[in-house]
Chain A
Amino acid sequence: MVTDNKPSLVTINVDGVEHQVAAGANLVDALAKIGKEVPHYCYHPKLPVAGNCRMCLVELGSPMRDRATNELVTENGKAKIGWQPKPAIACATNVSPGLHVRLESPTVKACREGVTEMLLLNHPLDCPICDQAGECKLQEFSAEYGRGYSRYVDEKNAKPKKTRLGPRVTLDDERCILCSRCVRFSSEIAKDPVLGFVNRGSFNTLTCFPGRELDNNYSLNTVDICPVGALTSTDFRFKMRVWFLKQTPSIDTESSAGANTTVWSREGKIYRITPRQNDAVNDTWMADSGRELYKSVEAANRVTFATVKNAQATVEAAFAAAADALSAGALAIVGSSHMSVEEQRLLARLAQAKHASVYIPAHVGKGDGLLVSEDRTPNFRGALVTGLTDRAPIADLKALAADIDAGKVKSVLIVREDAAMLGLPASTLAKVRSVVLATHHNVTTAAAEVVLPALTVFERSGSFINCQFRLQAFAQAVPGPTGVLPDALVLARLAGADAATVWSELSANVATLAGLDGRLLPAEGVQLDGAAFASHKFPEGKLLKFAPAVNA
């Protein structure tokens, strides 16, 4: 990868025009940066170069030097270019000073046409039923660089159309162009080498190693990087054509790694989640587990309306009841690392106003060293930064339960946490006035006096701070259930604050967030200075782009 902080540029000549590009960059990437597309299938910027698709063939040359004197040879006053006699693949070439490239020469065009024709020899006419259609490199390049008709008179090879590679991936062998991206991903990134090619010639086929299957938590990335429709997501297969889907930038909430995602939805229904490239966080990958989170949006136990004492209530009645319950005296607040930065700030102000004690439960799991961290919440750093808490997350709520039993706490506000699973049983909760803000019904909501509906990460906008102290925004992809207010508005109302001014207040009062506005973040997020919280002990181990502080 090119280091951005030390830009050493070299001059290359593309089709007779000189360009400045980063020294040592891969030629495909360097050309893409100056707006020249080199068609390619097997090359992927985040994977080792294989060079087997031959689509990126270009003509290369460099200024000739005299063998005897090592002087530049000139011809008609210009440096004489020594062109390589045969085309070379751009993906295996790094730029060097004075490199000359031909992208539009007859030879290059003939190469692309020939490669395309070869790849299409046995490729089925599946586009109408192929899920890749619309985002298929083969489809795009065939239209752009292919000859437009077939000279092939023999029957195409028939291969298995529906091979199960793993629990989440289905293979259509006929469509495979043997680019080996998936093979390289499995061995190099997922470190789970289960894929390989068998047979020879036209019968060359992708398959799993005997007795193994593609079942690691990163298997769906092979579907993302497959340039054709060979590897398909079993979940998304035949569900919806991609050109109907609206893409919304979002954040994977399954852990504090904070992988950037794109949510694909149509008419308020989410169809799939794919990774969004962020070289500082997740490159172009994400875990399979994070892709299934959208199913919670349409879960049967969604909280879709406010209830007071388990009876449906209007928004106004519920707010009145909540305000009443929260004013009953000695308030305890169970906050969450699943809340956004904005919501946490509003909750912190509520806690301040009511002199409430705040509990942030911990959700710890096993990290995989890649993109699923030990902290299974997206935003504990946010709770620290916004001042919601200054303690490490607590393992359970037994202390709060004891306080309730002792009568020290008169009312409880629980936000986005299932307290009953954390040692605060329903029977204890019933002893005090309680308000719960929740997305899904559970034991806690059943026991609560007032339940206010909350929105999932796909239904509201906000920002998270991941384990790297990187502030990243997520946007609303689909509308929430009718009449449900965003959590920030609900909390602002309870705190008597204005949700619209939360960022001006944050940037004015919180040093870490000075000058920032969470609604205007760049796509790749903003790296914050986490030095102020260096004394904290965080559970995260090494991740793809994160290493825990050594002094901790």
Chain B
Amino acid sequence: MEKILTDLVLSPLWYFAVARGLLVIVILMSISAYTVLLERKASAWIQGRIGPNRTNHPLISWIPFVGTFLAKGGFIQPAADGLKFLFKEDALPGHVRKVYYVLAPIIALAPAIVTMVMLPFGQLPGGQIITLCPGADVGVLFMFAISSLGVYSIALAGWSANSKFPFLGAVRGAAQLISYELAMGLSVLTVFLATASPNENNALSLVSMVNAQTGAWNILFHPVAALVFLICIFAETNRHPFDMPESETDLVGGFHTEYGAFKFGIFFVAEYSHMIIGSSLFILMFLGGWHILPWMPTIGSGIIATLLGLGAFFFKLCFFLFFFVWVRWTIPRFRYDQVMRIGWRVLLPIAVLNLLAYFIWYALRG
């Protein structure tokens, strides 16, 4: 068991590499798909409805209890949704710039997958880090650099669609991403100021960040930075209440107005991937990563501890995904000028002041 897990994570053998690659896609796609289900179910509960509870398949529905449970819970719904996207006619509107139009969803998904493989999830008993791309402890800068590339897909989609609503959505999306990138970076800086020492290698490594939270979690010492970061990941993922690029009430569908079928599906997956990445970063930087609770000693040893850590991480991730959904169905969308004001006139000063405060504190303390 332990051997297989270790091999799967670390072995350079080609079939393990292929398995890891497939695993990325399967996990990403299925988490995204089930986040969609969560979104639909949670919104239904909030609104006093039932949510998807009909989809079933003959191969499953005959099973007593289980079949009914899967149908009522909507667990087969994501498969149906995905298959629908897959089998719909992939129409290419006549007025679009075709190459960029096709390129945009690819550019949306690629950074998401690249960032995903770099995320550390847990620690093997030998101390090695579980990621989908072993040995590449690239640190938080890489994460930010790559995941921010997603804005190109929005800009590209809006521009290539060659119609006004996508274009407006794209312009808004680009401006919003740039605006919140600053505050986010400054808030992260505060945390790293605390955890990384100047001479250390891998100073910006996420793993060392997690290791630094073995005792107290960063959120306890940096609540303002955590709040700013949290708000910023909402804005960066274009989720409510910051979904300016989509903004269906005033922009029809925003940047993906002209997209349909599987290309639209890819945008969808990319959005949920960004949610996963954002949540993971928050967990890693502020919520102790795979540590179960602050100041809690490691429970068990070896494989047990690894699995518990993975479980803790997964539990925190699930909560965050639910939190994203919960917020979406609670708070109305900001107006565009409000979004800009919050980004530039509220979050950025707070992040700067926060950084300065910690800077002075550390300087005075020596």
| Direct A–B contact in complex, judged by CB atoms less than 8 Å apart | no
Binding site for A on B (CB under 8 A): none
